[in-house]
Amino acid sequence: MKPEDILRHPARVLTQDQREAYFRDGYLVVERLIPEDVVDEINRITAGWIDRSRAITAPNDVLDVAPSHSAEKPVVRRLKKPDGMDPAYWDYANGVIADVAADLLGPDVCFHHSKLNFKWSDGHDEVAWHQDIAFYPHTNYSLLAIGTYLADVNPGDGPLGVIPGSHKGPIFEHYDDNDIWTGRIKDDAVAELPTETAVYCPAPKGSITIHHARAVHATEATTHSVSGRPLLINAFASADAFPYAALKSTYTEHFRTLVRGTPARWAHHDPEPCPTPPDFSAGYTSIYAQQAGEPGTPTPRDPGHRPEAAIKAALKSAAE
């Protein structure tokens, strides 16, 4: 659906000004939308997962942990797919944030995926400039991610940073010169971007940030961390936006569940093309690990799209 069609539908949560600002800037912050008791319950469940991380020494399918992680001092960077880990996360994804998504995507909305990211000021918590759509190309660009600040996020805590209007600019490849996925925009392309105009979005506990799947965004490394900056991200798509590749390994059974409205009978195709998707089927650590080039299985392009040479290079490098 196009913005003008979406705006014709009555809003559920947001004001018309907020909706228009989102379409203009590619992001929006709504302060203190989520009641404190709801956030506290999510935090209580999350604390249980941090505690369980003490039993692992390396990232697994559920938790991404930093190189410095230990039983005594857990450094969990991500709880992967929380919507599949506890009904409370899934209920949350179906609540008021699904209404927010409908205000910005149109009345028919599918859940896409969730993740819960942390920053622990351990020197490995920067998230470099990237666009979410490069991770999961779709037939159109009516997708967004809603971040919920589960603690106060002050300027030094790694708030979301977005380049306003960048969702209307080019879509960048997030591969290196060997067609291996890095999950970040290349430095020479970043040098051309107006990063000096980036807006950082500190906000109190219970606030949400919303960014368009094409918006160029990043978060800075933190120098201190009181809370670990828990950021619960839920991504949604218009029901008429269909993925190029299913990428099942990174999602749960809730992937493409309709959370508002009715299913699409026709796909909407945006005429602007999108780079071909990565193939995470051999496993996915996290954006932190891949952006930092930590050892692990390299992610090539999706097999249906990648050239033979890249397949060989990926296999060779995996064997080394």
Dihedral of alpha carbons 79, 81, 84, 90, sign: positive
Q: How far is the CB of 279 from ligand AKG (least distance, A)?
A: 19
Q: Which of 231, 274, 289, 314 binds ligand AKG (CB under 6 A)?
A: 231
Q: How far is the CB of 83 from ligand AKG (least distance, A)?
A: 15
Instruction: Give the nearer residue to ligand AKG in terms of CB position, either 103 or 220.
Output: 220
Exposed (0-12), middle (13-18) or buried (19+): which is 144, by Cβ within 10 Å?
buried
Dist. CA 178–CA 317, nearest whole Å: 11
Please report whether residue 65 would count as binding ligand AKG according to CB under 6 A: no
Instruction: Give the nearer residue to ligand AKG in terms of CB position, either 108 or 132.
Output: 132
User: How many whole angstroms from its chain centre is CA 31?
Assistant: 19
Q: How far is the CB of 115 from ligand AKG (least distance, A)?
A: 6
Q: How far is the CB of 257 from ligand AKG (least distance, A)?
A: 20
Tell me, what amino acid is at 243? P
With beta carbons less than 8 A apart as the criterion, state whether 175 and 300 touch: no
With beta carbons less than 8 A apart as the criterion, state whether 77 and 118 touch: yes
**Tally of CA atoms within 13 A in the half-sphere of 105 that contains its CB:** 35
Q: How far is the CB of 116 from ligand AKG (least distance, A)?
A: 9
Q: Which of 121, 142, 182, 219 binds ligand AKG (CB under 6 A)?
A: 219
Please report whether residue 217 would count as binding ligand AKG according to CB under 6 A: yes
Instruction: Give the nearer residue to ligand AKG in terms of CB position, either 159 or 268.
Output: 159
Strands (E), 150-273: 161-162, 199-200, 208-212, 217-219, 231-238, 258-260
Site for ligand AKG in 105-124 (CB under 6 A): 117
Site for ligand AKG in 262-291 (CB under 6 A): 287
Instruction: Give the nearer residue to ligand AKG in terms of CB position, either 53 or 219.
Output: 219
Instruction: Give the nearer residue to ligand AKG in terms of CB position, either 174 or 268.
Output: 174
Q: How far is CA 116 from CA 113, 137, 167, 307, in A?
A: 11, 21, 23, 34
Instruction: Give the nearer residue to ligand AKG in terms of CB position, either 219 or 299.
Output: 219
Please report whether residue 127 would count as binding ligand AKG according to CB under 6 A: yes
Instruction: Give the nearer residue to ligand AKG in terms of CB position, either 250 or 310.
Output: 250
Residue with tokens 């589960």: 150
With beta carbons less than 8 A apart as the criterion, state whether 97 and 146 touch: yes
Site size toward ligand AKG (CB under 6 A) is 9
Dist. CA 104–CA 124, nearest whole Å: 33
Please report whether residue 132 would count as binding ligand AKG according to CB under 6 A: yes
Binding site residues, ligand AKG, CB under 6 A: 117, 127, 132, 158, 217, 219, 231, 233, 287
